[in-house]
Amino acid sequence: MPEHTDKNSFDPVHRNLFLHDVEKSIKEIVMRVIQFREAIAEAMSEEMRRDERVFLMGEEVAEYNGAYKASKGMLDEFGPKRVIDTPISELGFAGIGVGAAMNGLRPIIEFMTFNFSLVAIDQVINNAAKIRQMSGGQFSIPIVFRGPTASAGQLAATHSQAFESWYANCPGLKVVVPSNPYDAKGLLKSAIRDDDPVIFMESEQMYGDKAEVPEEEYLIPIGKADIKRQGSDVTIVSFGKIIKVAYSAAEELAKEGISCEIIDLRTVRPIDYDTVLSSVKKTNRLVIVEEAWPLGSIATEITFAVQRLAFDYLDAPVRRITSKDTPMAYAPTLVEAYLPQPKEVIRAVRDVLYLS
């Protein structure tokens, strides 16, 4: 290239090459930003283009572009045989999905909320999770059940429940709970390609969240946690939208000189115990933040694993911050009291550091 870089002095061929290199460099520096719902739609659309066996079924996924607009434009591209609106009958269309998977298709079944999945739980637990074993491996069940989990504002008791630990308790299922658009896209693509049933749990309060997501294809392996923030004083483990509470607490604690390492599990079955244990062996302290009732929670399981496998590394008892052990109320003051809050995480971190 000549010493000067006046593009007008290049011949047409070299000028186009120069502009192409500049455009490529800009794209590498400035990655596009998209919403969580767009990441979900992209993952499904890309996999449907890749594999004609993949289809989407659920309430309002087609004509309405999805209850949360997470399937926007998909009906237009793929047509009504692959993007299918259903009646309000979760048991029925979950069962159709299981049967389709047994016959070689790869369905994505959307629940408008996992609160409604309780109507279909027989199909999920007794059929999808068990047919591979009960058939002696003759059938695989490549199916994804996806939709929002946990609370989404003032929706009261029956529309605000977190069922991650319920489904994670069942052998035969994989359970994914992403916390951001980048992870959501990569994990959903992996879930759709998986030959076993995957529970993919989102959040109504995250669909508008934005993050950098590359246009190029990428996959994130199921079962691998991610260290979102490096730290040295205490390990905070969380997943899903409630991890934002951990981020807020870590920012406040950093002002006091307390360094928090934050691990996003991303998948709660299987759990990446190795990443958690490695961090605890470094920081010697653990706080777990989870939006779920305390009894039988993911936090309980991680606490057991750490005391069993890293007890000698702990300098303080493990602390967990969960939802309160009661159905969630409607009043905003009670919603705040019910959910984990940054101040609770800050208090727990100070406790394990003996600063209270």
Measured CA to CA in angstroms, residue 279 lies from 137, 306, 346 at distances of 37, 11, 19
* Active-site hit among 42, 159, 202, 261: 159
* Active-site hit among 90, 110, 291, 301: 90
Angle between helices 181-193 and 36-50 (to 10 degrees): 30
Per-residue DSSP letter, 338: H
Backbone angles phi, psi at 12, to 5 degrees: -55, -40
Contacts of 86 (CB under 8 A, 6+ apart): 57, 58, 59, 92, 93
Has 90 been annotated as catalytic?
Answer: yes
3-class SS of residue 78: helix
- How far apart CA 244 and CA 340 sit, in angstroms, is 10
AA letter at 272: D
Cβ 68 vs Cβ 207: under 8 Å: yes
| C-beta neighbour count of 333 within 10 angstroms | 8
User: Nearest CA to 291 among 355, 251, 238, 232?
Assistant: 238
Contacts of 195 (CB under 8 A, 6+ apart): 140, 141, 142
Contacts of 183 (CB under 8 A, 6+ apart): 220, 226, 264, 266
Has 336 been annotated as catalytic?
Answer: no
Backbone angles phi, psi at 343, to 5 degrees: -65, -30
Give the helix/strand (H/E) hosting 56. Answer: strand 54-58
AA letter at 1: M
- How far apart CA 242 and CA 263 sit, in angstroms, is 12
Contacts of 347 (CB under 8 A, 6+ apart): 356
- Active site positions, annotated: 90, 159
